[in-house]
Structure 1
Amino acid sequence: IGQMTLEIPAGKINQGEAPLTAARRELNEETGMTAMKWQPLASYFQSLGFSDATMALFLASELHLATNQLQQDPDEFVKGEWLTLPEAWRAVDDGRICDSKTLLALLYWQQQGIGA
């Protein structure tokens, strides 16, 4: 899209891999962190009418640095950034957050008071 974006950790599910296993791996690869608790939030189609790709959204809590940190994929250039909910909505307003999975995660955060 020709710009840097802010997104929640995410990635493809490998063949035969469970969505939660993929979520754990992606959190580690992209942030170097792991979580003690995982809560499924939603499973949804990414873009009906265009693709049959599905997404699984989880809440990871009780985060800490992973003992065995995985390497990022060679085509990824990920830098971590922590935002408060108001900061995240400002990032939506200025176009830095512009993907569906992160927008959905923000709505869950706001409506359910997750992490508040």
Structure 2
Amino acid sequence: MSEMPGDRPTRDASVVVARDANGFVALLSAMFPRHGGEHLFLPGGRREDGETPEECARRELKEEAGITAARWRPLGTYAITLATTARVHLYEARDPTVGPQQLTPTEQDFKLSWWPMADALEAAVQGRFLLPAGPLALLLADRTG
């Protein structure tokens, strides 16, 4: 894809819906004062050089939530904004194993909790998520899984 004038190339990102055997999903929460307080989000982040989208998803899930998973399924790839060529890759991770989070200094207040899918979707409807990829990934995982 060629870049249009004004496009700002950035790195792709990956976002993960991690589900346990009971269908509960791993959600992170943190305070974002610039954006009005505490928000929910799914584990995810920008791809590092040389990483595939799935490798990025696996790394981010382990770092931010302390979770590794036995089964992975892609949910789709979408443009992040019209102003960039970057894409967000959505995944579902099943059969999780939970270990310690590996948070960076800017992530130290990330709190992990497990929610029933219906409650996570309701939180998305209520606007409790900061970024749109999380609600989209939850909807896709719920509808196709």
TM-score range, shorter chain: 0.7 to 0.9
Q: Which amino acid aligns with 2:90?
A: L
> 1:106 maps to what in 2?
138
CA drift at 1:86 = 2.1
Counterpart amino acid of 1:53?
A
State the 4+ residue runs in structure 1 displaced beyond 6 angstroms.
none
Which of the pair has more CA radius of gyration? 2
| Counterpart position of 1:80 | 112
- The residue identity in structure 2 corresponding to 1:39 is R
Residue 33 (structure 1) shift: 1.1
Task: Please give the per-residue CA displacement for 1:47-87, whole angstroms capped at 9, x wherever unaligned.
Answer: 12x22221111110010124xx5621221131111111221
Classify the secondary structure of the residue corresponding to 1:41.
strand
Point out where structure 1 has 5 or more consecutive residues left out of the alignment. Answer: none
Q: % of aligned pairs identical?
A: 35
Tell me the number of residue pairs that the alignment of Structure 1 and Structure 2 aligns: 110
2:78–2:88: 8 Å Cα contact kept in structure 1?
A: yes
Distance 2:129 2:141 in 1: 15
Residue 26 of structure 1 aligns with which residue?
Answer: 60
RMSD: 1.7
Shift of residue 3, structure 1, vs aligned partner: 2.0
Higher relative strand content: 2
Is 1:46 aligned to 2:46, yes or no?
no
Alignment match, 2:43: 9
State the alpha-carbon separation in 2 of the partners of residues 111 and 98 from structure 1.
Answer: 22
> Distance in 1 between the 2:111 and 2:142 partners?
24
Task: Kindly provide the CA deviation profile for residues 71-112 of structure 1, in whole angstroms up to 9, marking residues without a partner as x.
Answer: 212211311111112211331233212421111112113322
